A = this chain, B = another copy of it.
Amino acid sequence: MSNPSILILPGDGIGPEVMAQVTRIIDWFGEKRDLKFDVETDLVGGAAYDKHGVPLSDETMARAMEVDAVLLGAVGGPKYDNLDFSVKPERGLLRLRKEMDLFSNLRPAQCFDALADFSSLKKDIVSGLDIMIVRELTSGVYFGEPRGIHKEGNERVGVNTQRYTESEIARVARSAFELARKRSNKVCSMEKANVMESGILWRDVVQEIHDAEYPDVELSHMYADNGAMQLVRAPKQFDVIVTDNLFGDVLSDCAAMLTGSLGMLPSASLGLPNAEGRPKALYEPVHGSAPDITGQGKANPIACILSFAMALRYSFDEGEEATRLEKAVEKVLADGVRTADLMGPDGGTPVSTTEMGDVILAAL
Contact = CB atoms under 8 A, between A and B. Distances in A.
Contacts of A234: 120
Given A157-B164, A227-B250, A229-B257, 18 more contacts: A88-B194, A90-B194, A120-B232, A121-B121, A142-B195, A149-B201, A156-B166, A156-B201, A157-B163, A157-B201, A160-B161, A160-B198, A192-B249, A225-B249, A228-B254, A229-B254, A250-B250, A250-B251
Shortest 8 CB-CB contacts between residues of A and residues of B:
A158-B201, A158-B198, A228-B254, A225-B253, A229-B257, A232-B257, A160-B162, A155-B166
A133 interface: no
A199 interface: yes
Q: In the assembly, how many copies of this chain are there?
A: 2
Interface string A125-145: 100000000000000011010
12 contacts: A122-B122, A147-B197, A148-B197, A156-B205, A157-B166, A159-B161, A160-B162, A160-B196, A161-B162, A224-B249, A225-B252, A226-B253
Contact of A197 (B158, B164, B201, B254): B158
Interface of A: 76, 85, 88, 90, 94, 120-122, 125, 141-142, 144, 147-149, 152, 155-167, 192, 194-202, 205, 224-229, 231-234, 246-247, 249-254, 256-258, 262
B232 A251 contact: no
Contact of A160 (B120, B149, B197, B227): B197
A162 B165 contact: no
A246 B225 CA distance: 9
Contacts of A163: 157-159
A100 B125 CA distance: 41
Given A156-B166, A158-B201, A165-B152, A228 B228 contact: yes
B201 A224 contact: no
Contacts of A144: 159
Nearest to A229: B257
Contacts of A152: 165
A131 B159 CA distance: 29
Given A197-B147, A228-B254, A232-B258, A159 B158 contact: no
Given A161-B159, A197-B158, A201-B156, A253 B228 contact: yes
Given A229-B262, A249-B192, A159 B198 contact: yes
A272 to B, nearest CB: 17
Contacts of A199: 158, 160
Contact of A149 (B200, B232, B253): B200
A155 B168 CA distance: 10
A82 to B, nearest CB: 12
B229 A232 contact: no
Nearest to A90: B194
A343 to B, nearest CB: 16
A76 B226 CA distance: 14
B232 A200 contact: no
A120 B120 CA distance: 9
